[in-house]
Amino acid sequence: MKKNALTAILVAALLLTAGCSKNDAEQGSGVNSEPIAVSDVSEEESSGEAQSEAAQSEQQEESTEESIPMEESFDVYVPNPDNVVTESDAKLSTDKTEYKSGENVTVHFSGTDEKDWIGFYNETEGPGTVPAIVWKYSVGEGDLIFTVNSIGKAGRYTAFLCDNDGYVVLAETTITIIDEDTNDYGAKSVTLDVAFDDNGISHAVATVTPGSEVKAEYRLYWSKNGNPLEGYEPIFKTEHSGTDPFDMELNAGLFMPDDADGVCVVVRKGSSTVCSTAAPDSMKLKQSKHLYDFAVITDLHINKDRSEFTSHLKAAMENIKTLYPDCTAIFTVGDNTDNGYAEQYELLMDTIAACKPTAPLYFTLGNHDLMYGTDYNEQVERFRYYTGMRTPYYSVTLEDTKFIVLASDSLDGNGTMGKTERDWLRAELEKCGKNDRIFLFVHQPLIETVSGSLYSRDNEIQDWYGFYDSGNIIHDMLREYPNATLFTGHTHWTLESYQPVLIGNGRDASFVNCASVGYLWTDEDKSTGGSEGIFVEVYEDYILIRGREYRNNTWCAATQICIPRF
């Protein structure tokens, strides 16, 4: 395959973007700013008052982490995009997205060389993990024909285009094989009840009356002229049997796209008719001055043995560059690598370099970046060397707004935060006004905030929260700042899940689940294919949280959420 050649100037530019921007950096934001030790920050800036020797001694006894010496300058990895097989010339598409038994799937490909190949896999599997269900070689540009019967029964499947008889994914696309049944199981009716609280946050419930007692999957979409709005995933999906009406409770703060005029129900069985209803214009956003945008991605899990994760990262970077070319910054929220190994960091940074990002990147540590090591400081030094971040936790000021990146201070997979970092966080927050916007990032969510951490909802599967010993202390700090928003990863919970965003409503900070670029998890405790992340549009009167599905180039309709400024 052809590889992109990057000049030394472009490589240097990437290093500059990996942790610096047009705004000033503070507390170890990246390679261009003055290194500051974590211990120095907490001692000099935590309260603004001199501490007594006794108080300092007490702090050292209570703190769980070791001081991490940060030298005045340090070596930083120079990415080599030529190490990455790029998919800039490799394209893959199908003639449609849904097929029935007996049909042919026409796969169009381009930008391929001899020994490149296309194979179909179950949605949750990929190249290098199990053999392809069916595969063929692809050379140059053209079409390949696969029969639906050779791929499998009803379900979702992914076609991967792989490089040179290997498992490096160059491109991918997903299809759905649907039931052969031709009966009409369409819903009889759907209604939408919408209310707004005192802060203007929407609360909506769709009520569906089934047209059949047969068990089937019901999907609710934004609609235009009675059909699903193009470019959007479902707002809600659930299985139901029987003829009794049932409710679909939509996420608080959900707003309707400008191109939509209502909602519709699609029953995923047989040849069912679509049922729709109008939605009030009040669900559309009010005009407000746009200020800036940034992107948040998490749980990349870069690993040479899982090339589809690298493909997902490329798709995410391409989405960011295409949809938000003037993006202020890109934040990762941890698990940048699968095991924290040097070769994985090299693949991560080389891949990002090959994507030629136009926005600066800021990295957060995750448990997978730490817990496979035996020494915390060594893992942090590796993180610093490859990402250019000066310290494991730091803050930057962008667009006159404080962005705070937090980190676990141990190898514990659940995350820990000792007194030193907590004091530093408190000091950073106290630099802000009580009503200022503040954006924070940490890998593990706090308990009972977002999907995957809702322990009281399901204590068997919703236990992916962190900071067992310090979570309540951290939450109490954030509660004093109603316009603070904490972005988290770790759970992999899809953005179609229950409560991906918790709006503080003026009484608390707000919390956002950022899903996963690598792979996704559902409320039903099932791993699923897909790759999702977040765009944040900042306006004078509110911020918009916009979920994006990177593989399908579609919006996650369930996570198009407005958080008002309180």
Instruction: Write the CATH number for 536.
Output: 3.60.21.10
User: Does residue 86 lie in a domain region?
Assistant: no
Say how far apart CA 414 and CA 398 lie, in whole Å: 30
- Asked if 310 and 333 sit in the same domain, the reply is yes
- Asked if 330 and 343 sit in the same domain, the reply is yes
Burial of 224 (0-12, 13-18, 19+ CB in 10 A): middle
Mean pLDDT of the region 204-209: 98
Percent of the chain with pLDDT over 90: 74
User: Does residue 231 lie in a domain region?
Assistant: yes
| pLDDT for 8 | 35
Instruction: Write the CATH number for 238.
Output: 2.60.40.10
- Asked if 476 and 370 sit in the same domain, the reply is yes
Say how far apart CA 496 and CA 513 lie, in whole Å: 11
Mean pLDDT of the region 267-284: 93
Domains identified in the chain, total number: 3
Per-residue pLDDT tens over the stretch 447-489: 999 999 999 999 999 999 999 999 999 999 999 999 999 999 9
Per-residue pLDDT tens over the stretch 13-51: 444 444 444 344 554 333 333 323 332 333 333 333 333
Please identify, among 262, 283, 304, the residue that sits at the C-terminal boundary of a domain.
Answer: 283
| pLDDT for 129 | 77
- Asked if 251 and 368 sit in the same domain, the reply is no
- Asked if 340 and 380 sit in the same domain, the reply is yes
- Asked if 298 and 208 sit in the same domain, the reply is no
- Asked if 208 and 300 sit in the same domain, the reply is no
Mean pLDDT of the region 126-133: 88
Query: And the tokens for 494?
Result: 């899809």
Report strand pairing: 216-224 vs 262-267.
antiparallel
User: Does residue 4 lie in a domain region?
Assistant: no
User: Does residue 70 lie in a domain region?
Assistant: no
Nearest to 82 by CA among 349, 340, 336: 349
Q: Which of 8-12, 81-85, 241-245, 478-482 has the lowest mean pLDDT?
A: 8-12
Q: Residue 142's CB: how many other CB atoms inside 10 A?
A: 11
- Asked if 346 and 306 sit in the same domain, the reply is yes
Per-residue pLDDT tens over the stretch 360-369: 999 999 999 9
Q: Whole-prediction pTM value?
A: 0.82
Residues 396/17, Cβ–Cβ less than 8 Å: no
- Asked if 323 and 422 sit in the same domain, the reply is yes
- Asked if 354 and 208 sit in the same domain, the reply is no
Mean pLDDT of the region 350-357: 96
Q: Name the pLDDT band for 85 (thresholds 50, 70, 90).
A: low
- Asked if 418 and 528 sit in the same domain, the reply is yes
| pLDDT for 353 | 96
| pLDDT for 59 | 41
Domain span at 410: 287-564
Q: Please report the DSSP string for 400-411 in residue order.
A: TEEEEE---SSS
Reading phi first (left if > 0) and then psi (alpha if -120 to 50, else beta), residue 84 is in beta
Q: Name the pLDDT band for 71 (thresholds 50, 70, 90).
A: low
User: Does residue 47 lie in a domain region?
Assistant: no
